[in-house]
Chain A
Amino acid sequence: MSFNPPVSIEQLRTLDDEPWQPVSPRYATQLRIYLLIYGAVFSALPWFLMSLEGEVRAWTALVSGGLGLLFLALIVFWVPRRVRHTQYLLRQLDMHMRTGLLWRRTTSVGINRIQHMEVTQGPLERGLGLSRLVLYTAGGMKSDLVLPGLPSETARRLKVKILGSPERPESESGIDESGE
């Protein structure tokens, strides 16, 4: 029997069958707070602009109210679904993320293509104990994989696991720069 049997594409499991991991439920809180802030600003904006002009008309109230309702609907209905359908999958050789149900988007990166990684958190994320894991590839800004809403400890463990993976390329020193 061959010790190195060929692997055909059919033998690989399809992505849908794999055990996808959800992000933290606290991600919902993060999204809600963002939407509250944006919602407040955008709803107040038409009213604010009109009051600068000196007259606040009925349609301004309608627009402001409409925007406010829209953001409210997003907070109540969209956020839970979004969080439920944001998932990641780390396999031996590749990493995936998928978001959305109505608009499904699945992003995949080979472990051997990851140039470097960052675990970052903004002030809100820090307060909620969440972090973002960013995987950088060689393709420039748009070709990164950003995984939001992870518990900080999970994000760090994922980074360590991927860093230690034998698939990773050696140190990606291109040009090292230091000031003097």
Chain B
Amino acid sequence: MSQVSEWHRVSPIAIVFFLFDSLRHAIGLWPALVPVLAGGEHFRALFWAYGLPGLLVVFVTSIFLHYWFFRYTVEADRIQLHTGVLNRKRLTLYFERVQQADIAEPFYFRPFGLATLGLESAGSRQQEVDIPGLRVVDAQALKDRILEQRRTLALIREDSEAGRVGPQLDELDYELRLGWREIARHGLMYNGLLFLAPVMAPLVHNMGPSMEEWILALEGTAIHQLLVNVISSNLAWLVAIISVFAVLSGLFILFSISVLIALVRFWDYRLTRVGDQFQYRAGLATVKTRGFHLHKLQQVTVSQGIVARLLKRYSLTISKAGGAAPTADGQHSKRFLIPVLNHQTLTKIKSQLAIPDGEWRRISAAYIFWRGGIMGSVVAILLVITLLSRDMSPLYALLAYPLSLLMAWRYWWCFGIYQSSQWLAVKTGFIGSQLVWLPIGKAQKVTLNEPPWLKPWRLSVLSVWGADGKIDMPYLPLATAEGIRDQTLYRVVTFGGKWL
């Protein structure tokens, strides 16, 4: 094999990728536009005449230069990249360290059969690398090679020529497909737009004036007289109905948008397993193929929010190393997500990942008194201040305690811990639930905390850090916590084989 590495440039169509990438970064620079808005007429005229065209020229040139200076070479065990225009960077990425590989086929690449290969690596620093403009078949071959897929290059080429993407039925160990109805459920379960809710209701409420105009337009007709009579005699009811209608419309709009986003993100979701290689492929505008090798699994999270509980669905995330830390450009890494599962498919996936149906243990009931007590006291103090300011009896504040204790009891009831020779897990919830599973042998750090207020009861808090987040087991009897800690360390130090 030649010692000299061959450096390749990506396809020129990749310029579109660099365009979108630069736009993303340029949007972050919006504060620079503030002087333009505040600078006055003369300054603005100068800006339009010279500043803006100048900026555009610089922008377009920089995109082209980024493409021109982007080169890569693939060697036996690593990829090397030369990137950057002013800030020249040479990156070396060892295949072994790659946690997750994505193939994204955005709409602008698809007509040309191109894709972007995204690689995430872990180590002391988590890093992301994108190689845009590779041919789909090359990107897949590279991804499979990196993730030690047992499919051969020949098989991949054959599939690609036949228009088949991903592993085929006869070699699959497991497959899960999600139809649009299931994906729509995910949009209902996880509405990232709910933070907009306070904005939506007033917006819809402002439909009021347009309704008024509509009524005014009917002036002089018999309907108008009827409406005026109805409204004036039922004003309070109408205001209430319109307010509720506004809130519901706002929520309806938000949830509809969320469902649409989910459909675009997860269209035609197909999860497959071949040996230890997991992969999913989904998306409408950008088709994303994400894969990882089972031994890289660091944590599994199964969540069920309130809406999900009503729909009897779950979602499952598989985390790999470094997911907790934000990357260089502040983005959180992409997780391997199975957006919607019913009870049956959840059981199947758990068995694919060798997650047992364990017996959950309870933590000490002292949790109820401490948590309920502290919550109750905080609320009681706030209530006392409020009641006193309204000249009402502060004794009502005592109501905070039974309520807080009840809530604390519910949290305690839903809190479970699990330990086996393979897994540590913590289950939390109130109405919904969240289960976090950590492979016990992959624990990074274990801390046993004995705070003074728990000492009289010989209780402690055990925290276990994985490579992507930590789990806390509070209010454990000291002997139990020490036992779990020692078991965990024992499994860690005797863990053979690759784990990262």
Chain A residues within CB distance 8 Å of chain B:
7, 9, 12, 14-15, 93-94, 102-113, 115-116, 136-145, 167, 169, 172-180
Which of A105, A111, A174 is close to B93, meaning CB atoms less than 8 Å apart? A174
> What residues on B are CB-neighbors of A142 within 8 Å?
465, 470
Known A-B contacts A106-B448, A138-B444, A143-B445; the reply to A173 vs B123 at CB < 8 A is yes
A112 pairs with B325, CB closer than 8 A = no
In the complex, what residue of chain A is closest to B125 when comparing beta carbons?
A174
Known A-B contacts A103-B451, A106-B447; the reply to A139 vs B492 at CB < 8 A is no
Q: How far is the CA of A80 from the CA of B489 in the complex (A)?
A: 31
Q: How far is the CA of A113 from the CA of B439 in the complex (A)?
A: 14
Known A-B contacts A107-B447, A137-B445; the reply to A177 vs B466 at CB < 8 A is no
A12 pairs with B321, CB closer than 8 A = no
* In the complex, B322 has a CB within 8 A of chain A: yes
Known A-B contacts A108-B446, A143-B465; the reply to A172 vs B123 at CB < 8 A is yes
Interface residues of B in 38-97 (CB under 8 A from A): 87-94, 97
* In the complex, B22 has a CB within 8 A of chain A: no
Which of A7, A104, A137, A175 is close to B444, meaning CB atoms less than 8 Å apart? A137
B486 pairs with A12, CB closer than 8 A = yes
A20 to chain B, nearest CB (A): 14
Which of B129, B450, B482 is close to A175, meaning CB atoms less than 8 Å apart? B129
Q: How far is the CA of A169 from the CA of B490 in the complex (A)?
A: 17
B122 pairs with A110, CB closer than 8 A = no
> What residues on B are CB-neighbors of A139 within 8 Å?
324, 444-445, 465-470
Q: How far is the CA of A135 from the CA of B94 in the complex (A)?
A: 23
Q: How far is the CA of A137 from the CA of B485 in the complex (A)?
A: 17
Which of B90, B122, B446 is close to A174, meaning CB atoms less than 8 Å apart? B122
* In the complex, B155 has a CB within 8 A of chain A: no
Give 9 A-B contacts (CB < 8 Å), ordered by A residue.
Answer: A112-B493, A140-B322, A143-B465, A167-B493, A174-B126, A175-B91, A177-B90, A180-B89, A180-B90
Q: How far is the CA of A91 from the CA of B482 in the complex (A)?
A: 17
In the complex, what residue of chain A is closest to B119 when comparing beta carbons?
A175
Additional 20 contacts, C-beta under 8 A, given A15-B486, A106-B485, A172-B124: A9-B490, A94-B493, A102-B452, A102-B455, A104-B449, A104-B450, A108-B447, A110-B492, A113-B444, A137-B445, A138-B123, A138-B467, A139-B467, A139-B470, A143-B444, A172-B97, A174-B124, A174-B126, A178-B89, A180-B90
B449 pairs with A105, CB closer than 8 A = yes
Which of A12, A113, A173, A176 is close to B492, meaning CB atoms less than 8 Å apart? A113
Q: Which 3 A-B pairs have the closest CB atoms?
A: A174-B123, A93-B493, A137-B444
> What residues on A are CB-neighbors of B490 within 8 Å?
9, 12
Q: How far is the CA of A144 from the CA of B324 in the complex (A)?
A: 14
In the complex, what residue of chain B is closest to A178 when comparing beta carbons?
B90
B19 to chain A, nearest CB (A): 25
Interface residues of B in 438-475 (CB under 8 A from A): 443-452, 455, 465-470
Q: Which of B88, B445, B452, B485 neighbours the largest number of chain A CB atoms within 10 Å of its CB?
A: B445
> What residues on B are CB-neighbors of A177 within 8 Å?
89-91
Known A-B contacts A105-B447, A173-B92; the reply to A138 vs B486 at CB < 8 A is no
Chief secondary structure at chain B's binding surface: mixed
Q: How far is the CA of A174 from the CA of B500 in the complex (A)?
A: 11
B493 pairs with A110, CB closer than 8 A = yes
A107 pairs with B446, CB closer than 8 A = yes
In the complex, what residue of chain A is closest to B466 when comparing beta carbons?
A139
B77 to chain A, nearest CB (A): 10
In the complex, what residue of chain A is closest to B321 when comparing beta carbons?
A138
> What residues on A are CB-neighbors of B124 within 8 Å?
115-116, 136, 138, 172, 174
* In the complex, B495 has a CB within 8 A of chain A: yes
Which of A107, A113, A175 is close to B121, meaning CB atoms less than 8 Å apart? A175
> What residues on B are CB-neighbors of A7 within 8 Å?
494
> What residues on B are CB-neighbors of A9 within 8 Å?
486-487, 490
B398 to chain A, nearest CB (A): 32
> What residues on B are CB-neighbors of A174 within 8 Å?
93-94, 97, 121-127
Known A-B contacts A105-B448, A108-B446, A137-B445; the reply to A143 vs B93 at CB < 8 A is no
A110 to chain B, nearest CB (A): 4
In the complex, what residue of chain B is closest to A100 when comparing beta carbons?
B450
B123 pairs with A14, CB closer than 8 A = no
Known A-B contacts A110-B493, A174-B123, A180-B90; the reply to A14 vs B482 at CB < 8 A is yes
Q: How far is the CA of A140 from the CA of B324 in the complex (A)?
A: 7
A138 pairs with B91, CB closer than 8 A = no
A107 to chain B, nearest CB (A): 5
A141 pairs with B325, CB closer than 8 A = yes
Q: How far is the CA of A7 from the CA of B489 in the complex (A)?
A: 13
Q: How far is the CA of A96 from the CA of B126 in the complex (A)?
A: 25
A109 pairs with B127, CB closer than 8 A = no
Q: How far is the CA of A102 from the CA of B451 in the complex (A)?
A: 7
> What residues on A are CB-neighbors of B122 within 8 Å?
138, 174
